[in-house]
């Protein structure tokens, strides 16, 4: 989605909702090709309980258990048969998995891999291993670290007291080990989504000696804890038939990705806590069209969101 189209799109959707109180059927979206496989390797278990987490991960959330090595292998092998092009490990916090190094090595046998983390568990030994893995891997290997402010007060208001320094320390260790991590920012602080706010992140990373910073900015999804923190979706914030043209269908990441957890397969990483989004037990059950009937689909469409690196 081109950002220039966003205001016009929002106005059109709001006008349509105001003119009619009758709900319209949501559009369907075919799986064009399985390009991307997401794996919720640690389920919803996390060492943090961030206030804006859209799946409410935390130390006590066991709605999705850790995936076993066998479950991950099975999903990867089946995805390879479908021609998958890249893998993503997420959670929860992936580095809480006791077999995370084994899982990383196995995924990298088949394609590029990105691991999403809050960075806090990356000590010197782990950073050194990740650097070595990066250098010897046949495919590209990325680590994405979440940071939601350029100051202690901004970040810690969302991620918890003391996390700002711990996250930056993890980033520093990755850089020292030869990696250039992608810093992911959720723009809950609206001013950080603008040009000046984004520049602050570039300046922060430059101060830490990162000469070629890599940043990814994501709009918040108003579900999970974020719904309680910032408010939920309005009635008009849903997709309806006629909203999607061919270009928009191809841009939506759920046209070419699926998410596998210990509890089954889902269209994308955003909806694993939504019971109606569960597509079945195995990846094969997810290789079909979906209905874009959740308000989070609206955010992806309007904001041009993709969870890919």
154-188: pLDDT as tens digits: 999 999 999 999 999 999 999 999 999 999 999 99
What mean pLDDT comes out for the span 97-114? 98
- Residue 1: pLDDT band with limits 50, 70, 90: very low
Q: How far is CA 44 from CA 88, 199, 265, 294, 307, in A?
A: 15, 32, 15, 20, 17
Check whether 21 has a pLDDT greater than 80: no
Q: Which pLDDT tens digit goes with each residue over 136-160?
A: 999 999 999 999 999 999 999 999 9
* pLDDT value of residue 15: 59
The helix/strand count (H/E) of the chain reads as 10, 10
Q: At what angle do helices 100-108 and 124-136 cross, to 10 degrees?
A: 10
Q: What range does the domain containing 58 cover? A: 34-303
Q: Answer whether residue 72 shows pLDDT above 70.
A: yes
Average pLDDT for 271-294: 96
**pLDDT tens by residue, 212-247:** 999 999 999 999 999 999 999 999 999 999 999 999
Q: Decide if 162 is inside a domain.
A: yes
Examine residue 3 and state whether it is found in any structural domain, yes or no. Answer: no
Would 105 be classed as within a structural domain?
yes
What domain count does the chain have? Answer: 1
Say if pTM beats, i.e. exceeds, 0.85: yes
> What local confidence, expressed as pLDDT, does residue 193 receive?
86
Tell me, yes or no, whether 12 lies in a domain: no
The secondary element (H helix, E strand) that includes residue 142 is strand 141-146
CATH number at residue 140: 3.20.20.70
Q: Quick one: pLDDT at residue 159?
A: 98
103, part of any domain? yes
Q: For residue 19, is pLDDT > 50? A: no
- Average pLDDT (100-120) is 98
Structural domain contains residue 189: yes
Q: Collapse the DSSP code of 229 into the 3-class scheme (helix H, G, I; strand E, B; otherwise coil) and give the result.
A: helix
Question: pLDDT of 39-58, one tens digit each?
Answer: 999 999 999 999 999 999 99
Average pLDDT for 125-140: 98
Does residue 33 surpass a pLDDT of 70?
Answer: yes
For 251, half-sphere exposure in the C-beta direction (CA atoms, 13 angstrom radius) is 17
- Would you say residue 6 lies in a domain? no
Residue 197 within any structural domain of the chain: yes
């Amino acid at each position: 989605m081109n950002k220039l189209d966003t205001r016009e799109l929002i106005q059109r959707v709001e006008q349509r909702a105001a003119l009619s109180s009758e709900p319209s059927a949501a559009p369907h979206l075919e799986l064009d090709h399985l390009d991307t496989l997401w794996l919720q390797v640690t389920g919803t278990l996390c060492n943090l309980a961030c206030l804006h987490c859209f799946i409410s991960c935390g130390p006590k959330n066991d709605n999705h258990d850790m995936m076993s090595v066998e479950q991950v292998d099975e999903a990867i092998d089946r995805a390879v048969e479908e021609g998958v092009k890249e893998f993503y490990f997420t959670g929860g916090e992936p580095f809480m998995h006791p077999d995370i190094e084994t899982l990383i090595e196995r995924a990298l046998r088949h394609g590029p891999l990105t691991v999403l983390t809050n960075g806090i568990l990356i000590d010197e030994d782990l950073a050194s291993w990740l650097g070595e893995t990066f250098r010897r891997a046949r495919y590209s290997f990325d680590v994405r670290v979440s940071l939601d402010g350029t100051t202690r007060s901004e970040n810690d208001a969302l991620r918890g007291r003391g996390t700002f320094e711990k996250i930056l320390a993890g980033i520093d260790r990755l850089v020292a080990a030869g990696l250039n991590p992608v810093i992911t920012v959720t723009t809950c602080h609206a001013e950080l989504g603008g040009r000046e706010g984004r520049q602050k992140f570039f300046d922060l990373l430059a101060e830490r000696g990162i000469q070629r910073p890599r940043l990814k900015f994501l709009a918040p999804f108003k579900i999970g804890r974020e719904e309680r923190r910032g408010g939920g979706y309005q009635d008009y914030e849903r997709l309806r038939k006629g909203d999607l043209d061919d270009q928009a269908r191809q841009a939506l990441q759920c046209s070419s990705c699926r998410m596998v957890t210990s509890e089954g397969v889902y269209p994308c990483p955003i909806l694993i806590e939504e019971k109606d989004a569960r597509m079945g037990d195995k990846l094969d059950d997810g290789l079909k069209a979906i209905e874009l009937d959740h308000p989070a689909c609206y955010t992806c469409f309007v904001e041009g969101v993709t969870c890919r690196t």
